[in-house]
Structure 1
C-alpha cells in the first residue's frame, strides 16, 4: 500500500505559529464538493515509505531488520496549527489512513541523521550478492555492474537476501539535503517546526 507524506514548515512569531509558505491550486477541487480551491504548498513531498516511518513514528520495518526510530513519537497534529494548515489538515484528523506528527528543527538537529545507523535488508539479483558480503557500510552503487540496472526490493523472484548498513541521512538523502536546509532558513531551531501529514 502506498503512502505520501507532505511536510510543512511553520514559524513562531509573537507566540503564534505562522505558515510562511504560499498556496497552490488543489487538484481535488470541484465546485460542487467541499474541497477548497487552494491548499498550502508543502515544503517537501515524498512517497518513500522509509521517510514516513522516520517522520511519523510508524514502528514499521521497511527493507530493514528492525523498526525505524522516529524523530519524535507520533504526536498527531499540534493544537496550535497556523491558520492555513488548520483549515487544510484538521478535517483529515479522523480519516482512516491519515497520520500526522510534528517536531521542531531543534529536535531534528539532535536526532542524529548522520550518526544513527540502520541495518538494511532487501533482495537483489544473485549476480550482485557478492557486493554485500560482510554487510558493507553504504549501498554499493559505485561497484554495481554497469550492465545491470540498480535494483533492490523486499521480494524479488529468484533474488538473494542481502544486508548493508546506512545512516538515516543516507536512507532519505533528498529529505536530509533539501527539506532540513529549507526548514533551517525559516528561523531559529526552537521557533521553527515541521508538520508532517501522511496519507495512505
Structure 2
C-alpha cells in the first residue's frame, strides 16, 4: 500500500476545528462570518522534516518486511514441486479421493500456512503505515489549530477537496515552518506494528450488532 494512498484514504481529514470562544466572540462583535483557511495535507506530509523522517523510517520497515517475504521463497518452491509430484501420483484419483488423500491434505495445509505468513507480513506493513500516519496527524493537528487561530479562522479545509482558495488563505507553508521550527515535531516515532494491533483496534471501534 503506497503511503500517499493511505493519506488519501485515511487522512483526507477535512480538518474542521472549532475556534476558541474568544475568536468567535471577536468575530461576533465585528459582525463577520466564520473564516476558513485551507491546508494541503499531502504537502505537509512530503515536505515537513517530520514527514520526511517518517517516510524514511517506513521505508526501513518496508525493506525489513520484503526481506522476510523473500525468505518464504524456498517454501513456496518446495510446495510447487510437491504439487507437481502429487499431480502424477493422484492423476487417476477422483476429486473426493484427492481431497481425502493425506499427502494432498498436508500440502494444502502447508500452502495455507504460507499464505497466512505472507498476508501477515503485508498486514504488518499496512498496520505500521496506518498507525504512523495516525501519530503524525495527532502531532500536526495542534500546530494546524494554532496557525488557524492566529489567522482568526474557525475552520480548516483540505486543499485537495477545495475548488478555489486565495493564496493568503493557504496555511500549508506556515504549518510546515512551525513544525520544522520545533525540535519536538521534527522527527517521528515509527516502530513496526503487528497487523493484530489494527484488527483489534477496528474490532473495538465496531459497534455491536443490534
- TM-score with structure 2 setting the length: 0.21
Which one has the largest radius of gyration?
Answer: 2
In terms of fraction of residues, the more helix-rich structure is 2
State the structure with bigger RCO (CA 8 A, min sep 6), 1 or 2: 2
In terms of fraction of residues, the more strand-rich structure is 1
- TM-score with structure 1 setting the length: 0.22
